[in-house]
Amino acid sequence: MSTLFDTLCPMHARLGAHGHIVHAGPTLQRIHPEGDLRGRRFLELFEMRRPVKGHSMEALRAASGLPLRLRMRQPPGLALKGVLVALGPDSPVGPAGGALVNLSFAIALPEAVRAFDLTRADFAATDLAIEMLYLIEAKTMTMDALHKANMRLQGGKTEAEQKAFTDTLTGLGNRRLLERVATRLIAGERDFALLSLDLDFFKAVNYSLGHAAGDHVLRAAAQAMLEETRSDDTVLRFGGDEFVLILTGMTRRAEVDEFARRLIARLEAPIIHQGEA
């Protein structure tokens, strides 16, 4: 008889007349790994929430046939559902005055699987929990795939935006970025200074030394501007040898003039290309 119930109802317990467990199904025993449950009082392991009132075997038997709500007293304190059948004197499955209880994890199934490392073997073959586990696993895999696809899409979008607002030669922002940055600062009511700068005699470098030398000069000038500005500032290549600098929070004329003089002095320093200045 015990083998039959263990196969059909692995979460069942047979109780004696005083509420002690006479036999526990294999899955019920698995979620209480502290030892053999036989001889333990059922109500010491499970807290009855409803509809039972009281903590006696008589109160349990009075709930025969009614849906039960229980909670495990041991961590993680899972909520369970169950049904109890009171056993009479002629019952072939247990002692007179006892009861047969069958439990289910219900909506706590995913948490129970994680907490106790349950597998298909811990459930009856006809238990809908198996299908629910498959659905949960399929949902998890689908959500994971969607998340990864969304991350790739977002990454591609971010990369495309960065390319759209970046000057490929110098790595600075381009003229498209100017409106975006200025709009953001204005919307945030942040003060800023706007400087326009171009490189004198740059065309002569291109004509006399070639475009490779000209590109080198532009990259060196861009690096100098980045080193002279702060993290909150923005340096843009507007086109050709024209640059725009947005200096956040710098609005005093004397401060801006001092910055401009320092930057011009830095840019007037010789730039070495292939061993020549």
SS3 category, 256: helix
What tokens were used for 38? 């036989």
- 91 inside domain: yes
SS3 category, 33: coil
Q: Are residues 249 and 229 in the same domain?
A: yes
Number of domains within the chain: 3
What tokens were used for 28? 């019920």
Q: Are residues 38 and 19 in the same domain?
A: yes
- 242 inside domain: yes
Beta partners for 132? none
Q: Are residues 29 and 114 in the same domain?
A: yes
User: Active-site residue 241, yes or no?
Assistant: yes
Query: To which residue do tokens 């263990």 refer?
Result: 6
The answer to whether the bond into 26 is cis (omega within 30° of 0) is no
Q: Are residues 152 and 195 in the same domain?
A: no
Other CB atoms within 10 Å distance of the CB of residue 99: 24
Answer for the pair 118, 39: CB distance below 8 angstroms, yes or no.
no
- 118 inside domain: yes
Q: Given 122, 138, 153, which residue is the final one in a domain?
A: 122
Above 80 in pLDDT, residue 273? no
Q: Are residues 228 and 138 in the same domain?
A: no
Q: Are residues 212 and 150 in the same domain?
A: no
Range of the domain at 145: 128-164
What tokens were used for 183? 């709009």
Which pTM was predicted?
0.49
Q: Are residues 145 and 230 in the same domain?
A: no
166 compared with 158, residue with greater pLDDT:
166
Above 60 in pLDDT, residue 146? yes
Query: To which residue do tokens 């490392």 refer?
Result: 117
Q: Are residues 201 and 160 in the same domain?
A: no
Q: Are residues 142 and 229 in the same domain?
A: no
- 277 inside domain: no
For the segment 87-138, what is each residue's pLDDT rounded down to a tens digit? Answer: 988 777 767 789 999 999 988 888 888 888 888 888 887 777 767 776 777 7
Q: Are residues 11 and 111 in the same domain?
A: yes
C-alpha distances in angstroms, 101 versus 66, 82, 206, 207?
Answer: 11, 7, 91, 94
- 112 inside domain: yes
Average pLDDT for residues 238-257, to the nearest whole number?
A: 92
Q: Are residues 196 and 239 in the same domain?
A: yes
What tokens were used for 55? 């903590």
User: Which is catalytic among the residues 127, 167, 241, 257?
Assistant: 241
- 238 inside domain: yes
pLDDT at position 236 is 95
Mean pLDDT of the chain: 87
- 94 inside domain: yes
At 251, which CATH number?
3.30.70.270
User: Considering only CA atoms, which of 37, 22, 26, 21 is closest in space to residue 4?
Assistant: 26
Above 90 in pLDDT, residue 162? no
